[in-house]
Each structure stands twice: as C-alpha cells, then as structure tokens.
Chain A
Amino acid sequence: MNLSKILKNAFLVVIFGLIVTACATKKSVKTTTESSTTTKAAETQKADPIEKLDALMQGDVYIGSDTVGELASGVPDRVFFATNETILTTASRETLRKQAAWLRQNSDVTVVVEGHADERGTREYNLALGERRANAAKDYLMTYGVSSDRIKVLSYGKERPVDSGSNPLSWSKNRRSVTVKAN
C-alpha cells in the first residue's frame, strides 16, 4: 500500500514538473498572507520544479497559499481536500481551529461555509460532495465551540472554481471549503 502510494506520488511529481515550470511565471504570492507562508512560497520559487510541486501538493491535497484569503487577520479562509474525499487533513484542522478561535472571540459574526468540488465529476454528485465537505468543516468548527446556528453551509459543487486550469494542481485548489463572513 505504502509502496503504491510512493510510486503514485513519484508519478505525479514527474507529470507536474512540466506543468509547474510552465506556470512558474504567473504564480503570484499573496503579500497579505501570514509571514511564514510567504517565506515558504518564496523558497518554493527559488527551488527546482520537482521540489516546487512537492511544496504545493501533498498526495493530491493542495498545501500552497495561492488563492488562500483571510477570514480575519492571520486566519486563513479555506481548507483543501483530496479527490472525492471529505477528510480534514492535519493542516486543515489547524486552519479550522484558528477560525473557531477567532469566531469564539467575535461572537456576533455568522459565517457561510461554501463547499466546492473540482471539475472532474458529474454536476449532481459534485453538489452533494460540496455539501459534504462544507459540513465536514462545519462539524469541526462546532467541535471547537462555534454554535451551529452561526454556521450556514452552501454547496456550489463544481460551479465556482477559483482556478480555471485543467490540470491536477488547479483541481487541487478547487477542491475546497471556504469560510465566508455572512454579516
């Protein structure tokens, strides 16, 4: 099992090498993101293509900072998912804990958790999948003390991609749940 995963990763790395090279010039780093991510992204830019891809995806979950906005200062607004999955990664849980902490401090704020899927699935299944992802995030926020009546979920399925590319890196950025202030 582990071996096959390693092989799969190696395969992905080889494939994306070229794509990342092609995209390197347009990859912009958000200056507003927290300093640690900026440093990481800056390092990424200097590194060779293969390491660069490693820094952007883990398995097929996006771990870069491109497209990531802020719910509040220092609080990232989104988490990413593996293909067809709704499981929250360690990094996602960390992000959601930050969101929960901020929401506990700002108890008048209500949010909408928007669930999204990539374009590689049928429209209707993706609507259900987006709803499932948004609820995974909502449940975690509730575990950390945010009451359910402050969190609405809204699935967009594959209707609102942030990246219009047709490649695994773009798809990984689109498999996401985004916490948006509703008031």
Chain B
Amino acid sequence: MRNKLLLFIFCFILKPSISYSVVEIDITRGNLDPLPISISPFFTDNNSEKIIKKNLDIDNLGLEISKVIENNLRKTGLFDTLDKEAFLQKPDIAHLKPRFEDWALIKSQVLITGKVTSKIINEKDYIRIEFKLWDVLGAKMIDGFSLTTVPTNWRRVGHKISDKVYERLTGESGYFDTRIIYVAEEGPKTQRVKKLAIMDQDGFNTKYLTLGNELVLTPRFNPTNQMVTYLSYFRNMPRVYLLNIETGKQQVVGDFPGMTFAPRFSPDGKKIIMSLAKDGNSEIWVRNLETNIQEKLTDHPSIDTSPSYSPDGKYITFNSDRSGYQQIYVMRSDGSKVKRISFGKGIYGTPVWSPRGDLIAFTKLHKGKFFIGVMRTDGTGERLLTENFYQEAPSWSPNGRIIIFYRETKTDEKGQGFSAKLWSIDLTGYNERLVLTETDASDPSWSSLLGN
C-alpha cells in the first residue's frame, strides 16, 4: 500500500510539466524530490568474466552496465542514485533475494539488481543479461526482464533497462535507447569545418558520417527508421539530401531549380517537407518519397521556412516573415488555412511540433537575447524555458519530456572564444544540462526509440 502511495506521489511530482503555468524557473526550482535508488553492480560469474574480458576487454561488465543505468537515471534529475560504496549486500545475493532492511537502511526506496552470463549459441559468444527492479519498502520485485545479445551491444542493454525502469516508475515512455544526430564543428569561426555525427543519447559511440569536405547542416531523423535528411553544399549546390546511416548511401531529394533547405520528415516517414529558395523567395514544398510527387504548399512573397509536421500529419507549423518579422504560423498539411499563432514581444523562429502533439517548441529573439520556449498549438500559454546570448534549434526527445538544442558563446573583443555546444532542458524548465560531445556541436536531432 505504502509502495503504491510512493509511486503515486512520484507520478504526481512529474505532472506539473503538463499544466501551463507561466514558469518562473528560479522560484519553483528545487521543488523536485528525487527518488533515492540503488543500482547494484550486475553479478558476473568467473567463467563469464573471462570470456567477456576476451571479447570486449572489459574487466567487470556487470559494473559497467550498472554505471550506464546510473548515469542515465541521474541525468533525468528525477532520481537520486546512491553511492555504491554504501551497499551492504553482495551483487549475487542481492539479485537472488535482497535483504530489504539493508537497502532501507541507506534510505534506498528502489533497487536494481542484475546478472550477466556468457553464452555460446552456434559457436558464437553472446551475453545474457537479467535485471530485476525491487520496491524496497514494499519488499517485493516489481519488474524485470532478461535478454540475450551480442557482447558489443552491452551499452544498449543498459539503455533498455533504464527505459524499463523510467517507464515503470514515472508512467512515461523512456528515451534512453536512442541516438542523437548533430553537426560536429571544428576550426575558426570564419572557416568552420562541419561534419555529420551520430552518437548514443548519453554521448558514447560517436561516429562521423561525412568527411567535412563540404558544408553540411540541419540533419533530421526519420521518425520511423534510421534514415536522415540534411542540407549539403556538395559541389556548391545547397540541396536537401537523404542519407541511410546504416549503408552510408546518400541521394539528392527531388529536382528543384534552386536551393532546398530546412528539411524534415513527415510523421509516417514517407514525405519530406522543406523550403525552396528561388529568385529571392522561399516557399515550403513537400515531396513524397514513394510517389516522387512534389508540391508547393505556401505561396507568398515572404520567407517561409522551418516547417514541422504535427504528429498526426494533419498540420504543419512553420516560420514566416509575412507580417514584417519572423513569426510562427500553422496551416493544414495541404497548405490551406494559414494562421499566425505567435503574438508575443520579439521575433520567433524554428517551430517544432512536440511528439505528444500539444505543444510547439520555438526559438525567440527579444531584446538581444535568445530563448527556447514552448507554446500551445494555438499560440497560447507561451513559456520560456531558457535564456542565453545565442541558442536555437530545439529538438524533442521521443517522449516529449526533454528538449535538446545548441548554444553558441559570445566572442571577446579579439573575436576569440567562440564555441557551439549541445544542451538539454526538461519541458518543465528544470534540469538544464550540457550534452557532452567530442567536438563542438550544433543542429541536434533526437531519434525515436530504437527497435530490437
């Protein structure tokens, strides 16, 4: 009973993000009471340890997996991950049957245990990982699973367990078994070299997808598979491209008589919306990747760009300066019923529809400062989440709880000190974090949850 109450309270704490109060970030900060959780190192028997060491050159894979989970959960700001030094019970015994008093003693309310075993299937090495989620106060197991995979997949196993725990304890779907594609940047500000890069959501396994020979910008994931659309200046012809990140195959999207840019997939992944700039006028177009039919959706002498579909595919939000300044508009996906929705002070750009459908994230410039904010799809309930010298390009986590964006620093009087970094912030305005990348980074796009 007490356990149920605990979970109820926890869900309740998460709830305020869905209400639309005007957030005064600093005033309400600190109201969150993170849930104390212990993540026991996963037990590995001696024989398995030897085989895994041979395969992966990792001494204690069970410990490493528990660290992946710990890192994921801690960064949500919702969990207080307790220090492993304080754990009284050995991993193998805890996994069999925890002595709940011991875990309660260190104030842990939830416990994660697990076991890693090496397996041979068809003469190939695999790892089998078993995990259990325990309610310490209720003294019982509340969730768990086991899965078998190739050894190199071990980090993903940690992410899948994190997703399960997050889902079980918050009632929301997770976002840990995902990847982020972005533009890796190097070199002086006047001659930046940019490459497409992809990494796991927690910053590991970075891979570079282009060499940096040509300028590349604004990569975006297909929400249904591992395809990416982006802008490349290949042969000095800025065009929207499609890239299969598994095969490396890329191709130009469509045949347009001018620069195409600002691409984004439709929710079903079958279409790409983008801008076409020609003779000083940018309009929004859609191209169906199956039928190869392309269609112009806006018709106005102003700049129309940064289009983004609603998750049901029925509407498109976009950026236009038809009123004289950049503002956010919504129209039906056939281009009809165009309606301006942003009316606050300042100029607005980069509208991105939330995967939940109820909010639009945007960039706002007001009095020389850049803000990332959200508003309802009719433009009401504007909330600014973060303010800085320069930041833009919000992208939603697949569960719609977190926004990732990039931030650039002001240079000093000598023009030195420029940097571009990825940051994330909760929809509530809490928990702003630097997302670590190997190089400078911009234009992040968050993938959907990966399949199996």
Contact = CB atoms under 8 A, between A and B. Distances in A.
Given A132-B280, A155-B277, A161-B190, A123 B392 contact: yes
Contacts of B238: 127, 154-155
A135 B410 contact: no
B350 A131 contact: no
Contact of A123 (B191, B279, B418, B443): B443
Nearest to B390: A119
B390 A131 contact: no
A124 B363 contact: no
A160 interface: yes
B24 to A, nearest CB: 26
B218 A123 contact: yes
B303 A122 contact: no
Interface string A90-131: 000000000000000000000010000001111111011101
A18 to B, nearest CB: 9
Contacts of B349: 121-122, 124-125
Contacts of B118: none
A71 interface: no
Contacts of B411: 164-166
Given A165-B415, A170-B415, A132 B303 contact: yes
A139 B350 CA distance: 29
B218 A124 contact: yes
Interface stretch (A19-27, A55-63, A74-82): A19-27
Contacts of B305: 124-125, 127-128
A136 interface: yes
A156 B214 CA distance: 12
B54 interface: no
Interface in B203-258: 215, 217-218, 231, 236, 238, 258
Interface string A136-150: 100100000000000
B410 A166 contact: yes
Interface in B400-443: 408, 410-411, 413-416, 418, 442-443
B277 A164 contact: no
A76 to B, nearest CB: 20
Residue among A112, A131, A165 facing the most chain B CB atoms (10 A cut-off): A131
Contacts of A156: 215
A155 B189 contact: no
A45 interface: no
A139 B319 contact: no
B325 A84 contact: yes
A23 B416 CA distance: 13
14 contacts: A23-B413, A122-B392, A123-B217, A123-B442, A124-B306, A127-B259, A127-B277, A127-B305, A128-B303, A131-B258, A136-B280, A139-B280, A160-B190, A163-B415
Interface of A: 19, 22-23, 26, 84, 86, 112, 119-125, 127-129, 131-132, 134-136, 139, 154-156, 159-167, 170
Given A155-B277, A166-B415, 8 more contacts: A120-B390, A123-B443, A124-B349, A125-B305, A125-B306, A127-B238, A164-B189, A166-B411
